[in-house]
Amino acid sequence: MCGITGITDKQIEKFEEAIQKMTSCIAHRGPDDDGFFVDDHIALGMRRLSIIDLESGRQPISSADGHLLIFFNGEIYNYLELKTELEKQGQEFKTESDTEVILKIFEVHGVEGFKRLRGMFAVAIYDTTHQKLVLARDPFGIKPLYYWKRGNKIAAFSSEIKSFLALRGFRAEVNDAAVYNYLSFQYNPLEETFFKDVFKLAPGHTLTLDIKTGAYELKRYYQFQFDQNNSLEEEETKKEILTTIEDSVAHHMIADVPVGSFLSGGIDSSIIATLMQKIRGTKQIKTFTVGFQSLSEGKEAKETSDPLDTDHTEILVSAEEYFDALPKAIYHFDEPVADPSAIGIYFLAREARKSVKVVLSGEGADELFGGYNIYLEPFARARVSWMPSWLLQIIAKLPVRGRNFAQRILTKLEDRYIGNASVFTSSEVNQIWKGEPQDKFSLEKIYQDVSGQSDSTKMQYIDINTWLVGDILAKADKMTMAHSLELRVPFLDTEVAKVAATLPDRFKWSDGVTKHLLREAFRSVLPESTRNRRKLGFPTPVKNWFTEERQDLYDLILENNYIRSHLDVRVIEKLIEEHVSKKRDNSRKIYLLLMLALWYNEFIEHGHS
C-alpha cells in the first residue's frame, strides 16, 4: 500500500477537492483503492496497492473509540507477532491488516512504538480529539515522506513532492542549495529538497504537529550505530548471519499477492532469490534481470537462476529506449538522481509488474556488510604507510599512475570522502557554479558519531546516512512505484542490522575481499562463481552512449535556462568535447547535467502540475 497525503493549512481552500487532487497525483503508487478523511481542521488521503488483507484493509482505520485514525504506506513484517502479543494484552482487532497493528502499537506505546516495527513505512496518525498529527518514517528511509512549509507552518505532506504542485498557493521554485550539492553527490543530500520550502522527513524520525497552533516537533526514534564486538567467533557469527537473513526473507515474503525477486547476478540479490526459492519449495519463484544491448548481466544472473530453477526473465534495453524513458523517470523521481542504473530498474519494474505485485531486492547489503570496493582503500593505505610524506607529495604532483591514490593518502578521510558517488570535486564545483554562493552539505556531525571507528567503518556509516537513502533507496522506491510495483529490501530489516552492527572489521574485509563473512555464511548455499563475484548491480553503458551523434542531448543541457543562468556553459562545452573526442571519460558529469536539465524542464520550465 503505497501513497499518503495530507493538508494541515486552513488557508488552502476547498479541503475535499484539494486532497483529492493531491492524492490523484500519486495514483501510480496505489491503483487499487483510495481513502479519505476530511474535517474542518485537516484533510488526509491515500492511494492503496493491495498486498495484505485485500478485502478489509481499506484506510483510514480508526481506533475502537474513534478518536485516532491512521493512514499508512508500507509493510510491517512482524505484524502477526505484534498482533498476537497485543491480543494477549486484551486488544481486539476488526481487520487482518498490518495497518491496524501499527495503530494499536501507537495507542499502547506512543511514538516509541515505532521502534518495534520491522518494516518499511510512512505513517500518518491523527488524533481527532486533540487535533494532533503524528508522521513517522521507517528507520532506514525505505519509504519517502515530504512536507511543505509555508512560512513557519507545515501546510501539507505527501509520499511524493508532485502532490504539492496540485495545491493552490504552492510555487515551484528551485532551491539552489540542493542543486549546488547535487553537483558533488549526484543526489540531493539536504533535508530541504530541490523545491524551495519542501522538506524530507528524515529516516527514523517522527514529526508531531499541533493543528490548532501550528507548532511541530521533529524527533529521532531510531539511530543505527556500529557496536563492534571483537570477541565474536567466526563460525557462530556465520550461522547467525545465515539464520537472521533467512528469517528476514521469510518475513518479507508475507503477502496475499504474487511475490518475485530482482536478480542482478551479484551476491546480494542471489542470496535473496536462493532463500526465497528454498522457502517456496517446489513452486518456482519468478526472477527478473535487466541488461543493455552492449552490456548485460544475463549470463551471471542465469548462473544463479538455472541451478535454482526459477522462472527467470531477462530484458534487454537499447540506448534509444533508455534515453526515451528519461523524462518519464525524472517525473517519478521528483528530484534528479544522477544514477544511470536507476533507469534499468525502471524497465525491470515495468516487466516484473506484468506477473507479480511485489519484488524482493538486495539493497542495503553493501552498506551494512561492507560491500563497496572503496572500503578497501584504507587497507591499501596501510600497506604504503612506510612511504615518507615528501615522496607521496611528489607522486601526487606528477602525471603518473598512482597520482590520485597518493593525493587521497595525503588527504584526511573526513576531508575527501563524501560517499560512494562523488561526481564534481569541490574545486570543479567552484569552477562550474556561477549562481549565488551556497553552503556545501556538512558531514561533520555524521563523522563525529563514528570518531572512534576505523576509516572503513566510517565510510560505511557515511553511506548509510547519506548515499543509501538519497540514491539507493530513492531510485528503488521511485522507479518501482512508477509501475505500481512494491519493492522490499530484506537486508534493511532491523534484525539484520543488529547483527551487521556487531561485526568487527576482520569479518567484513579480508585479503582484499569485501563482505567477507556474508560470503562465508552462504558458502554452502550459493554457487562458488556467484559467491565470489565482484559487485555488479545492473551496470549501464552510458559512457559509450554519449557520442558525437547525441547532439540532441547536449543541446538539452546547453540550452537549458537554469543551467545557462547558474552554471558556466563554457566548462560544460569542454566536458562534452573531451568526452566525445575520448580524451576523458566525463559521462557521469554529462549524465548529471542532463538529469538536471530534464528535471528543470519538467517541473519548473513547463510548470508541471
Phi, psi of 121, deg, nearest 5:
-165, 150
Query: How far is CA 400 from its chain centroid?
Result: 38
Q: Tell me which residue of 265, 270, 256, 252 sits closest to 359, measured CA to CA.
A: 252
Q: Residue 565: which residues within 8 A CB-CB, separation 6 or more? A: 435
Contact by Cβ (8 Å): 95, 56: yes
Do the Cβ atoms of 38 and 19 come closer than 8 Å? yes
**Residue 31: φ, ψ to 5°:** -80, -5
Residues 430/571, Cβ–Cβ less than 8 Å: no
Residues whose CB falls within 8 Å of the CB of residue 222, separated by 6 or more in sequence, listed in order = 114, 115, 139, 203, 204, 494
Selected catalytic residue, list 2, 25, 46, 154? 2
CA distance 385 to 370: 23
- Provide the grid cell at 432: 562550474
Cβ atoms of 447 and 453 within 8 Å: the answer is no
**How wide is the angle at C-alpha 183 spanned by C-alphas 179 and 189, nearest 5°?**
65
**Catalytic residue status for 25:** no
> Are the beta carbons of 157 and 164 closer than 8 angstroms?
no
- Beta-bridge partner residues of 219: 206
Q: Locate 471 and state its grid cell.
A: 540514491
* CA angle, residues 91, 94, 98, in degrees to nearest 5: 80
* CA–CA gap between residue 517 and residue 507 (Å, rounded): 5
* Catalytic sites, residue numbers: 2
